[in-house]
Structures are given as structure tokens and as C-alpha cells.
Homo-oligomer: A and B are copies of this chain.
Amino acid sequence: MKTHSKKRIEIMIESPLLGRITETLDAHGVTGYTVLPALAGRGEDGAWHRDGVIGRAGSLVMVISIIDADRVQSVLEPLFKLVKGQIGIVTVSDVEVIRPDRF
């Protein structure tokens, strides 16, 4: 089964910002994304834990988007602008997919 190279963008971002991240992805022609909940974490700004917390501040979600390599640069720029002043990190890695036209 032939597979095709794509990029996987993984964004860990504080929850209140999720809406802006997905709006940015939508605006830059990304074909889709999936959001995973996170439970806890630690970074420069200290540790956090989801349990018992009611508000959305102080917790993270993880957004995964599979996109075409050609699109990475144009998406990364606005994403980084968004994440820069906030709590969050963006990583990019290589993946193989089966239906290249979907991304």
C-alpha cells in the first residue's frame, strides 16, 4: 500500500486560546484537525493539573493537524504569532498517509 509524506503539526496550547487556534487553522486552509484533552503538565511557568478545576484558565489542550508540507510555512507563521505571548508550544514532524489528496 503506497503511502505519501505529510506533516503533523502538534500544538499544546492553554485552553482559553483554543478557539483562536482553530480559527487560525480554518483561515489558512487546513483540511482538518483533532483536539485531545490534556490532564496535567509542567513548563517554565510551573505545573498544572486538570482535576477539580472549573474554569478553562490554567489547563492545556493538544491540537493535531495533518497538513501538506507545502502548507507548513504559511500555517506556522500565524500560529507562532498566536502562541508566542501565550502558554503553549508548537512542533512539526513527518508522517505518512494513504490518501494524500485529503490533506
Which residues of chain A have a CB within 8 Å of any CB of chain B?
1, 3, 6, 8, 10, 12, 22, 26, 31-44, 60-62, 66, 73, 76-77, 80, 89-99, 102
Give the number of times this chain occurs in the complex, counting copies: 3
A contacts with B: majority SS:
strand
A10 and B96 alpha carbons, distance in the complex (Å): 10
Chain B residues, CB < 8 A from A44: 31-32, 102
The minimal Cβ–Cβ distance linking A85 to chain B, given in whole angstroms, is 12
Chain B residues, CB < 8 A from A3: 76, 92
Asked whether B32 lies within 8 Å of A39 as measured between CB atoms, the reply is: no
Asked whether A36 lies within 8 Å of B36 as measured between CB atoms, the reply is: yes
Closest residue of chain B to A74 (Cβ to Cβ) is: B1
Taking a contact as CB atoms closer than 8 A, the residue among B6, B80, B93, B98 that contacts A96 in the complex is B93
Asked whether A35 lies within 8 Å of B34 as measured between CB atoms, the reply is: no
Chain B residues, CB < 8 A from A90: 97-98
Closest 3 CB pairs of A and B: A32-B43, A34-B41, A91-B95
Asked whether B37 lies within 8 Å of A37 as measured between CB atoms, the reply is: yes
